[in-house]
A and B are shown apart, each in its own frame.
Chain A
Amino acid sequence: MFYRENGQFKTTYAADQQIFTIAQDKWFVLGVIAFAFLVVPMLADEYMFRAILIPFLILSLAALGVNLLVGYCGQITLGAGAFMAVGAYAAYNFLIRIDGMPLIAALLLGGLVSAGMGILFGIPSLRVRGLYLAVATLAAQFFCDWAFLRIKWFTNDSASGSVSISELNVFGWIIDSPTEKYLFCLAFIVLFAIIGKNLTRATIGRQWMAIRDMDVAAEVIGIRPMYAKLSAFAVSSFFVGVAGALWGFVHLGSWEPAAFSVDRSFQLLFMVIIGGLGSILGSFFGAAFIVVLPIFLNQFLPALGSLFGIAISTAAVSHAELIIFGSLIVFFLIVEPHGLARLWAIAKEKLRLWPFPH
Chain B
Amino acid sequence: MGFFIETLIGGLMAGMLYSLVALGFVLIFKSSGVFNFAQGAMVLFAALAMARFSEWANRALGGDSLLLANIIAFFGAGLAMLVVAWAVERFVLRKLVNQEGATLLMVTLGITYVLEGIGQTVFGSEIYNIDVGMPKDPVIMFESIFEGGILINKEDFIAALIAALLVGLLTLFFQKTPVGRALRAVADDHQAAQSIGIPLNRIWVIVWLVAGIVALVAGIIWGSKLGVQFSLATVALRALPVVILGGLTSVPGAIVGGLIIGVGEKLSEVYIGPMVGGGIEIWFAYMLALVFLLFRPQGLFGEKIINRV
Contacts and interface: CB of A to CB of B under 8 A. Distances in A.
Given A76-B102, A136-B286, A327 B244 contact: no
A323 B92 contact: no
B256 to A, nearest CB: 17
A27 interface: no
Interface string B115-154: 1111011000100000000000000000000000000000
Given A131-B101, A326-B114, A333-B106, A139 B294 contact: no
Interface in A161-213: none
Interface stretch (B50-58, B63-71, B205-213, B235-243): B235-243
Contacts of B101: 76, 130-131
Given A124-B290, A127-B293, A329 B298 contact: no
A329 B116 CA distance: 14
A326 B111 contact: yes
A71 B112 CA distance: 23
Contacts of A146: 279-280, 282-283
A275 B57 CA distance: 46
A68 B299 CA distance: 27
28 contacts: A76-B102, A124-B290, A129-B305, A131-B105, A132-B248, A132-B293, A132-B299, A135-B240, A143-B287, A145-B283, A151-B277, A262-B237, A273-B102, A274-B106, A315-B125, A322-B116, A322-B117, A323-B121, A324-B117, A325-B113, A326-B111, A326-B117, A327-B114, A329-B107, A330-B92, A330-B111, A330-B114, A333-B107
A322 to B, nearest CB: 3
B121 A319 contact: yes
A136 B287 CA distance: 8
B244 A323 contact: no
Q: Which of A128, A132, A138, A316 has the most CB of B within 10 A?
A: A132
B308 interface: yes
A320 B121 contact: yes
Contacts of B280: 146
B309 interface: yes
Given A150-B278, A334-B92, A134 B113 contact: no
A216 B309 contact: yes
B300 interface: no
Interface in B258-309: 276-280, 282-283, 286-287, 289-290, 293-294, 297-299, 305, 307-309
Contacts of A150: 276-279
A321 B117 contact: yes
A277 B12 CA distance: 41
Nearest to A323: B117
A42 interface: no
A333 B110 contact: yes
Given A323-B117, A325-B113, A132 B298 contact: yes
Q: Which of A145, A266, A273, A322 has the most CB of B within 10 A?
A: A322
B102 A323 contact: no
B222 interface: no
A273 to B, nearest CB: 5
A337 interface: yes
Contacts of B293: 124, 127-128, 132, 136
Nearest to A326: B113
A59 interface: no
A327 B116 CA distance: 12
B95 interface: yes
B96 interface: yes
Interface in B38-68: none
B16 to A, nearest CB: 21
A131 B248 contact: yes
A322 B113 contact: yes
Contact of B283 (A70, A130, A142, A322): A142
B297 A132 contact: yes
A270 interface: yes
A332 to B, nearest CB: 9
B109 interface: yes
Nearest to B277: A150
B183 to A, nearest CB: 20
Contacts of A101: none
B99 interface: yes
B204 interface: no
Contacts of B248: 131-132
A296 to B, nearest CB: 16
B309 A334 contact: no
B74 interface: no
Contacts of A315: 120, 125
Contacts of A220: 309
A218 B97 CA distance: 28
Given A216-B308, A323-B113, A334-B95, 8 more contacts: A129-B297, A132-B299, A134-B105, A136-B244, A136-B289, A136-B290, A323-B114, A323-B118
A345 B243 CA distance: 38
B18 interface: no
A334 B278 CA distance: 43
A199 to B, nearest CB: 21
Contacts of A131: 35, 101, 105, 244, 248
A332 B103 CA distance: 11
A151 B276 CA distance: 8
Contact of B120 (A132, A145, A319, A324): A319
Nearest to A270: B106
Which 7 pairs across A and B sit closest by C-beta, in order of nearness?
Answer: A326-B113, A322-B117, A323-B117, A329-B110, A139-B286, A326-B114, A142-B283
A269 interface: yes
A292 interface: no
A329 B114 CA distance: 10
